[in-house]
Amino acid sequence: MSDYLKFLRQREDTAPVKTILVVDDSPDVRHVVRTILERDAAFKVCGEAGNGPEAIEKAEVLTPDLVLLDFLMPGMNGIDVANVLRRLLPKTRIAIFTNYIDVLTKHLSSTVGIDAVIGKGSLTELVTSLKKLFAQKAPSNNLG
C-alpha cells in the first residue's frame, strides 16, 4: 500500500466520532435511524427525543455534533425546534429529516440556519448525506 493510501486510511481511522441526537415522534423511526447510523463507526447516537421540548432539553445537556430533526411533529415542528437550537447551540449542525422535501421546506430550513434537508425515503443514503455534511466547513452563524 502506498504511503499516501496509508495516510488516508490512518486519517479515516482517527477521525473523531460524530455524536447525533435523533428527534422523531415515531419510536420506530428513531430505532431504524439509530440502527443505520450506528452501523457506521463515524457516528454515535448520543440520544433520542420524541418531541420538540424534549429535543431542546436533551440537546442542551448532550451538546451533540448534529441534531437530526423530524420536520412534522405534534406541537413544535422541526423548524420551530431548529430555530431555538440555532440560538442555544450555534456550533451544532442541524438537519431536517422529512418525507416532504420541496422548495418551501428548503426555504424555511435555510431561513433558520438548517444545514441540510434529508429525505426519509432515502434511508440508505442517510449516512452518505451526513458524511457530506460533516465534510463541509461549518457555516458561521451570525445571529443577532
Domain boundaries, the chain: 3-131
pTM of the full structure: 0.82
Please list the alpha-helical segments (H only) found in 15-51: 27-38
Please list the alpha-helical segments (H only) found in the chain: 3-14, 27-38, 52-62, 78-88, 103-111, 126-135
Query: Which is higher by pLDDT, 116 or 22?
Result: 22
Topology of domain 3-131, per CATH?
Rossmann fold (3.40.50)
pLDDT digits (tens, 9 = 90+) for 59-83: 999 999 999 999 889 889 898 999 9
pLDDT digits (tens, 9 = 90+) for 77-109: 898 999 999 999 999 999 998 887 775 566 666
Query: Which is higher by pLDDT, 93 or 120?
Result: 93
Beta carbons of 45 and 20 less than 8 angstroms apart: yes
pLDDT for residue 14: 62
Q: Mean pLDDT, to the nearest integer, of 42-63? A: 97
